[in-house]
Structure 1
Amino acid sequence: MLYFVGLGLYSCEDLSIRALRVLKKCSKIYVDLYTSIVPQFTLSEFANILEKSLGSEIVGVTRRELENDIFVEKILEESSEKDVAIVVPGDPFIATTHLWIRLEAEKRKIPTAVIHSTSILTAAISETGLHPYKFGKCATIVYPDLEKNFIPYSVYETLVDNIGRGLHTLMLLDLRLEEKIAMTIADAINVLELLEEKIGKGIISSETLGVALSRIGSPDSKIVAGPLYSLRKINLGPPPHSLIIPGELHFTEEEALIVLAKASIEAVRTWKKKVRDLRNILNH
């Protein structure tokens, strides 16, 4: 059997009792080391908790391996004979490419099961107090490559679409851990500013309200809301970071941002009016 197990956002302590029971009975465990940063997770502690051998029973894997046909073939062969698990930061199939492995297993009549855990997609919404049904399409901000003439316009297009409908936008930030790249809020704002210069719909300005999130799920997590450009100056600590740009705000959402994310009343009111103006412009 092949299990896909969510690790959560912070450490081994995020693993559910069910996850621990499943993992302890697995003969082989592959741990995804690239999808996201799990601040206090280490392979050695993970092996100690499960009382398993690091290197033979527990193996850390890279993107190159888990997206390699030959390597995955090995996993499928193992899981056809014994219990095998792939452990993934967050929730197993959120912001990952692992679904194809599950599909391939099912096509071969290899049973699969999913043990869910906390995802940044739900945790970010819960922590900010914004209403989940008012979020539009999620986006990922990646670094431009001006030498190759690559600019991530799709992020801005998603913002335009969401703001036009009054919806909030959760933006995940570029993470390429094997290249030691982890985008910060400051870098993300710089990219959005570049996109505003290129496209110019007025979404990104001194009036734009941003909600910066750092290390959500950790004891030292931070949530700060305010005018977008001002967030560049705030020390949010190390990544992972993410960013929300709200759309139309319900009065309970306004209060949540003021109380939980320390937004000023003025910043919230200014953005509320700006969103109305933007919606009128974008929808005509």
Structure 2
Amino acid sequence: MLWFVGLGISGFKSIPNEAIDVLSKADMVYLEQFTSPISKSDLTKIKKATKGEFRPAKRWLVEDGNEILENAKKKKVVLLSYGDPYIATTHIELRERAIKEKIKTHSIHASSSLTSMIGECGLHFYKVGRIATIMSEMKSLTTPYYVIYKNVIEGNHTVLLLEFNQDKDFFLDPKDALNGLLETEKGQRRKVISSSTFAIVASRIGFKDQEIVSGKISSLKKRDFGKPPHTVII
């Protein structure tokens, strides 16, 4: 059996009661942290709630999926992830593979930072267009640039997720993301982004120290946004 369980967005305290019960009865619990970092204190609490074997799961292990599926054929296995298990993850593909291999699957949903963030920013979710990710390498910014371009034409907001590298403990700073978009504009010249473009930076949504800042890119570039995770909305 394979459980897909969401942690929610506010740390261990936001985990559904049903999920706590599942963790205590599972033979193996995989925790993936490559979509968003999890604090050491929350990690300790998760380990204490887990009675079976606990394993941190790297991106390659989850995307490959073979080990997880093989164990799920004989044991009760949980794949635990930040937010909701199926939003901004590759877990749907793993679930489809499990179903094809006759492995029973169950899901425990939780709040997602994406859906919560839109509401916290005072925006309507049905006005959100295609979502893109901004990486630190300049060459990769062409894709999010054209996502913004198409969303602007359609009158939609663009949610920009920022690169998080678990192995290097690296989270792309919003200022670097905005500067990268401005540099991309110089090459593409479609008048998509300028220093006068209005943007929102949403930081640590769901935590006590969450912060939402909006304004022209020219002013946002000068601001310190503190601890990650951050998301940019155009």
**Shared fold (TM-score greater than 0.5)?**
yes
Q: Choose which of 109, 126, 135 in structure 1 pairs with 2:102.
A: 109
Q: Does 2:134 align with 1:118? A: no
Tell me the equivalent position of 1:199.
188
Letter in 2 for 1:20: I
Any idea what the Cα deviations from partners look like across 1:64-110, whole Å, max 9, x if unmatched? 32233xxx333223222231100011111222222232122111111
- TM-score where L is the length of structure 1: 0.78
Amino acid at match of 1:197: K
Match of 1:211 in 2: 200
8 Å contact from structure 1 (residues 9, 38) kept in 2: no
Residue 182 of structure 1 deviates from its aligned partner by 0.6
Contact 1:209/1:227 (<8 A) preserved? yes
Confirm or deny that 1:176 pairs with 2:162.
no
Matching of residues 1-284 of structure 1 within 5 Å? 1-39=1-39, 42-48=42-48, 50=49, 52=51, 57-68=53-64, 72-145=65-138, 150-245=139-234
Percent of aligned pairs sharing the same letter: 37
- SS of residue paired to 1:224: strand
Secondary structure at the counterpart of residue 143 of structure 1: coil
Q: Aligned AA for 1:98?
A: H
Whole-Å separation in 2 of the counterparts to 1:51 and 1:114: 17
1:201 Cα deviation (Å)?
1.7
Matched letter for residue 154 of structure 1: T
Change (3 A) 1:242 1:64: same
Contact 1:11 1:40 in 2 (8 A): no
- Contact in 2 for aligned 1:213/1:241 (Cα 8 Å): yes
Count of residue pairs brought into register by the alignment: 234
Gap regions ≥5 residues in structure 1: 246-284
C-alpha separation in 1, matches of 2:215 and 2:44? 40
Pair 1:14–1:165, CA change in 2 (3 A): same
Give 1:51 deviation, angstroms: 5.3
Which 5+ residue runs of structure 2 have no aligned equivalent?
none
What do the CA deviations read for 1:178-211 (whole angstroms, capped 9, x no partner)? 1222111111111111111111122211321011
CA contact (8 A) 2:132 2:160 kept: yes
Q: Name the CA distance, whole Å, in 1 between partners of 2:41 and 2:185.
A: 37
Is 1:34–1:176's contact at 8 Å kept on the other side of the alignment? Answer: yes
CA distance in 2, matches of 1:213, 1:41: 23
State the distance in 1 between where 2:56 and 2:39 align. 16
Note closer, same or farther for the CA distance 1:78–1:51 as it changes in structure 2 (3 Å cut): closer
The whole-number CA distance in structure 1 between the counterparts of 2:43 and 2:92 is 23
Q: Displacement of 1:123 after TM fit?
A: 1.3
Does the 8 Å CA contact 1:31/1:87 hold for their aligned counterparts?
A: yes
Where in structure 1 do 4 or more consecutive aligned residues deviate above 6 Å? Answer: none
Structure index of larger Rg: 1
